[in-house]
Amino acid sequence: MKHIAIVGATGAVGQEMIHVLEKRNFPVSKLTLLASKRSAGKTMTFRGQAVVVQELTEQSFAGVDIALFSAGATMSKQFAPAAVKAGAVVVDNSSAFRMDPGTPLVVPEINPEDIKLHKGVIANPNCCAIILLMAVYPIHKINPIKRIIVSTYQSASGAGAKAMEELKKQAADVLAGRAPVPEVFQFPIAFNVFSHNAGMDLESGYNGEELKVIEECRKILHSDIPISPTCIRVSTMRAHAESVHLELTSSADLDAIRNAISSSPGVRLQDDRKNNHFPMPLEASGQDDVLVGRIRKDIGSTSGKEIDLFCCGDQLLKGAALNAVQIAEKLS
């Protein structure tokens, strides 16, 4: 039994962490919910019991075994050292420690062995990196990938609870004939598509989200595999979608690829050509598995080594809260 703390408990991912702990029957002896001073005093429910949210301070981690952080990089950098000093293992959902050479970056279905290398902090990867690797790692194991080109279609949930509310409000405004007013995003999100709102590297032309996908996938796979992402924000509520092009080492055997995906934990084959039924954000929302389909050989390639596929995964679950709890399960 473990004393678990959730930092950022009132946020979209924090709330999902509570639900995932309950759903997976995690051995929790005590649950401490931590958030900003503004949220302190709110009541949340865990296993039918009311839990009062406490203000996050450096003294919040006494007796905590595992601290699940989802409050942004600034808060993680400030408070994770205090948690580690108090004896807790931190599983951090922010970007604060992901590329730190001394911090494991873990997707439990892919590199669980890296967990044992931790020095108090384990990083949870970027949501798009997790969803991408869950879809392609079963293929990589049977036919090593030489190159990845990926376009992402990222939902409002990736920017948090306020962004989800902004999408709802703007959709209502547009349907009522009112002009949508952006607050969380730079541009209107309702009925719109735009380049991901992460900061742009002016020299390379890649934004911060795209660079995260490149760097984090390489770290998780322990490989310098070439990756070229294009990350786009779309007006879906939750669950990210990704269009993926792979260059493989050997000629692609689609039956073997489908079998590999079908037999891999955490992914589900959704590849019904006859009924044009493939992964969709609506069907991926609320699901633990990443849905994978549209698997086909690149019709423009003569080598037979290039394939395309489409995948969807719930950003708040496998892209964030679920992956963090799965890491905690490996610790317990």
Please give the share of the chain, as a percent, with pLDDT higher than 70.
100
Pairwise CA distance, residues 317 & 323, whole Å: 7
Q: What's domain 2-125+320-331's superfamily in CATH?
A: NAD(P)-binding Rossmann-like Domain (3.40.50.720)
Pairwise CA distance, residues 94 & 261, whole Å: 28
pLDDT recorded at residue 245: 98
240 has catalytic annotation: yes
For 71-118, how does the pLDDT look when each residue is reduced to its tens digit (9 = 90+)? 999 999 999 999 999 999 999 999 999 999 999 999 999 999 999 999
Classify 131 as helix, strand or coil.
helix
Average pLDDT on 133-147 reads 98
Pairwise CA distance, residues 171 & 270, whole Å: 29
* Residue 273, φ and ψ in degrees, nearest 5: -65, -40
127 has catalytic annotation: yes
Pairwise CA distance, residues 180 & 174, whole Å: 6
Spell out where 199-314 has E strands.
227-234, 240-248, 267-269, 290-297, 306-313
User: 271 near 168, Cβ under 8 Å?
Assistant: no
For 44-62, how does the pLDDT look when each residue is reduced to its tens digit (9 = 90+)? 999 999 999 999 999 999 9
Q: What is the chain's alpha carbon radius of gyration, rounded to the nearest angstrom? A: 20
User: Do β-strands 193-195 and 227-234 pair in parallel, antiparallel, or remain unpaired?
Assistant: antiparallel
pLDDT recorded at residue 27: 97
For 237-270, how does the pLDDT look when each residue is reduced to its tens digit (9 = 90+)? 999 999 999 999 999 999 999 999 999 999 999 9
pLDDT reading at 332 higher than 80: no
Catalytic annotation, pick one of 127, 128, 231, 311 = 127
pLDDT recorded at residue 156: 94
Please state the separation of Cα 159 from the chain's center in Å: 11
CATH 3.40.50.720 location in the chain: 2-125+320-331
pLDDT recorded at residue 160: 85
pLDDT recorded at residue 161: 84
pLDDT recorded at residue 312: 98
Architecture of domain 129-315: 2-Layer Sandwich (3.30)
Catalytic annotation, pick one of 128, 140, 240, 311 = 240
Classify 315 as helix, strand or coil.
coil
Pairwise CA distance, residues 310 & 244, whole Å: 6
Single-letter code of the amino acid located at 149: I
CATH 3.30.360.10 location in the chain: 129-315
pLDDT reading at 271 higher than 80: yes
Spell out where the chain has E strands.
2-7, 28-35, 43-46, 49-52, 54-55, 66-69, 89-92, 121-123, 145-154, 193-195, 227-234, 240-248, 267-269, 290-297, 306-313
User: 292 near 279, Cβ under 8 Å?
Assistant: yes
